[in-house]
Amino acid sequence: MIRKSLENGFERWEDILGPIVFAYNNSLHSSTLKTPYFLNHGRDPVMPIDQLLRPIPPVIVTPSDYESQIMKRLNEAFQLVKINLSQAREQQKASTIKALCPLPLLIIPFFCLIHALNITICNCTASQPKGFLKFTSDDCDYQISPLPAISVYYYVYSTLPQINRFVGHSCTMWLERKDIYTDFWGWQTPSQSRVPIEVNAHECEKMRDSRLCHGKSMDYLGKNKWSFERIPNVQGSWLQVTADQRNNCRLEEVTLETDCANYTISSSIGDIPKGINGSISHHLVTIVWKESLREVQQCKLRLVETGIAQRYLTNNSEIERIRDVEQQLDFVYNTTNNKYCNSSEKSHKQVIGVEKVILRLHSLTDTNAHPSKPLEDIENNADIIRAEITGAANSQYAQDRTTDGINGVAREIRALQCENWLLAHKTAIATAQHSGWLAASYLNLPTCSKLIATGESISVYQCSPKNSTITTEITSCGPQPKFGDYTLDTEG
């Protein structure tokens, strides 16, 4: 229906789906002898042409009567459809049987003789021994003997310097100017401006020590801030511009941070490069500080983490590893003992991959070294430094667990390969005892190779291959294969 409609001028098949569906639903079905529209709605569709050809007289029907009429029609239609479907099914069955058996079958058997066959003949009268078949099993002979883990107490220390905070003061100064113009009628037009002034280190130190701004006492604003801010008092003059100006200042106490001596200082105006002592000016803001307040810190051990871990030995005697499964931390360290900072013992080991982090190990039998006991003269590290170190150890833990998983899979694969090699060896021995030719072909050896099994050893012999043609000889016993002047029996 779609093809016919497209042939009659329609260009888009999707535009005619609606009319085609309506035409199909309003057509008699060959099996039910009813239209799908009637079986769904209990009546035939009312078309516009029906109104013109046979107008229906107006009849008043109540909803209950209409419902009973529809149900009656559908019930009668369904009974007729059931009978028509049964008759259509019997007709289709008879038509199918008739179509399947139009003529009796005729089978004509025929045979085709093979006149020639090319084969390879192996001449073993002068076979050459090639040696013994060897199955490589070096990887299977090598077995990993994992070293047992040892439980230990561990302490992780950091020699990273703590952040040192000290007090500094920032100074700013500006020129407050006010102008007033008085016109003919006496109206005054004021204008006010502020001009920043650069403050040198000497003026800022003087302001810090005296709390004076050009000899004027500064007001305390709270939160360690002082200020002197005055607006000039200007009296206007007729038809003239009068002006006045005044120096204003502001002093604020700021916190400066540095890791240790000769390191970058963090301030409110940005990082102050190392090597600058006492003062710095930036964007008309001057910061001064006393070098005596900067504490010169010496190297000092600070505790980062402690707990119970498993100590693993490696093939390298200079490298070992501990794993804390509970906290998911791994530390790889050098086994050489050294003395660090303020420690009195030469029993600390350098952690590999993390700068300025060391650890100390104790046996579980050492009751004095239990992690729950407080350590004398040892302070804890700052939280930010501890977070960095434990984060690196946690990443090491994840990498080591991944590596262990990969190694475990590799060991399983190698075990399967070893089992396959062993099975191939045993299969070759068993097959060679029955047929050396079959065993050689099973191992994909060169043509005319033959295996001879003696106990667990397999000898390989190479015969001479020769291509020949076998023809068909018709004898009193029927067709027989012929090679040269001889026919071959069933045993070859």
* pLDDT per residue as tens digits for the range 420-468: 878 877 887 888 877 887 888 777 788 888 888 877 778 888 888 888 7
Identify the CA nearest to 212 among candidates 228, 230, 234.
Answer: 228
Q: Is 284 left (phi over 0), alpha (psi -120 to 50) or beta?
A: left
d(CA 454, CA 448): 20
For 369-382, the pLDDT digits (tens) are 555 554 445 556 56
Residue 165, CA distances (Å) to 259, 267, 280, 406, 459 in order:
9, 10, 17, 48, 84
d(CA 328, CA 393): 8
For the ranges 103-107, 223-227, 469-473, which has the lowest average pLDDT? 103-107
Phi and psi, residue 349, nearest 5°? -120, 140
Burial class (CB in 10 A: 0-12, 13-18, 19+), 315: exposed
Give percent above pLDDT 90 in the chain.
18
274 within 8 A of 179, measured Cβ to Cβ: no
**Angle at CA of residue 112, ends 106 and 113, nearest 5°:** 155
210 within 8 A of 236, measured Cβ to Cβ: no
Radius of gyration, CA atoms only, the chain: 53
Average pLDDT over residues 315-326: 88
For 48-87, the pLDDT digits (tens) are 666 555 555 555 556 666 667 777 777 777 788 778 777 8
C-beta neighbour count of 360 within 10 angstroms: 20
| Better-predicted residue by pLDDT, 137 or 36 | 36
Query: What residue segments make up the domains of the chain, in order of their start?
Result: 2-100, 150-161+301-405, 164-293, 443-487
C-beta neighbour count of 480 within 10 angstroms: 15
Identify the CA nearest to 238 among candidates 288, 183, 197, 307.
Answer: 183
Query: Is the pLDDT reported for residue 263 higher than 70?
Result: no
Average pLDDT along the chain: 78
Predicted pLDDT at 245: 92
Phi and psi, residue 214, nearest 5°? 50, 45
Query: Is the pLDDT reported for residue 490 higher than 60?
Result: no
C-beta neighbour count of 157 within 10 angstroms: 26
Predicted pLDDT at 106: 33
| Better-predicted residue by pLDDT, 309 or 466 | 309
Residue matched to tokens 């289709």: 92
Most confident among 159-168, 195-204, 261-270 (mean pLDDT): 195-204
480 within 8 A of 488, measured Cβ to Cβ: yes
For 75-127, the pLDDT digits (tens) are 777 788 778 777 877 777 666 555 544 433 333 333 444 566 777 778 787 78
For 250, the token pair is 């502001």
142 within 8 A of 417, measured Cβ to Cβ: no
d(CA 331, CA 353): 9
Residue matched to tokens 């050689």: 440
8-state DSSP, 35: -
8-state DSSP, 275: T
d(CA 459, CA 134): 10
Strands 379-380 and 302-313: parallel
d(CA 24, CA 308): 83
Taking the CA of residue 222 as centre, how many other CA atoms within 13 Å lie in the half-sphere pointing to its CB? 0
211 within 8 A of 218, measured Cβ to Cβ: yes
Identify the CA nearest to 304 among candidates 262, 339, 355, 266.
Answer: 355
Query: Is the pLDDT reported for residue 274 higher than 50?
Result: yes
Residue 203, CA distances (Å) to 119, 170, 228 in order:
113, 11, 15
Q: What residues pair up with 349 in beta bridges, in sequence order? A: 359
For the ranges 110-119, 184-193, 225-234, 426-435, which has the lowest average pLDDT? 110-119
Residue at 272: amino acid letter: I
Predicted pLDDT at 299: 67
**Angle at CA of residue 140, ends 136 and 146, nearest 5°:** 155
Query: Is the pLDDT reported for residue 179 higher than 90?
Result: yes
DSSP secondary structure string for all residues of 189-247: EEEEEEEEE---HHHHHHHHHH-EETTEEPEE-SSSEEEE---------BT-EEEEEEE
Cα torsion angle, 4, 8, 12, 16, sign:
negative
Q: What is the SS3 assignment for 79?
A: helix
Phi and psi, residue 286, nearest 5°? -115, 135
127 within 8 A of 437, measured Cβ to Cβ: no
Predicted pLDDT at 376: 47
Residues listed for the chain: 492
Identify the CA nearest to 458 among candidates 433, 437, 422, 423.
Answer: 433
Average pLDDT over residues 120-142: 73
Identify the CA nearest to 23 among candidates 36, 14, 10.
Answer: 36
Average pLDDT over residues 221-238: 90
d(CA 461, CA 126): 10
Predicted pLDDT at 374: 46
For 229, the token pair is 């801010």
d(CA 442, CA 445): 8
Predicted pLDDT at 269: 82
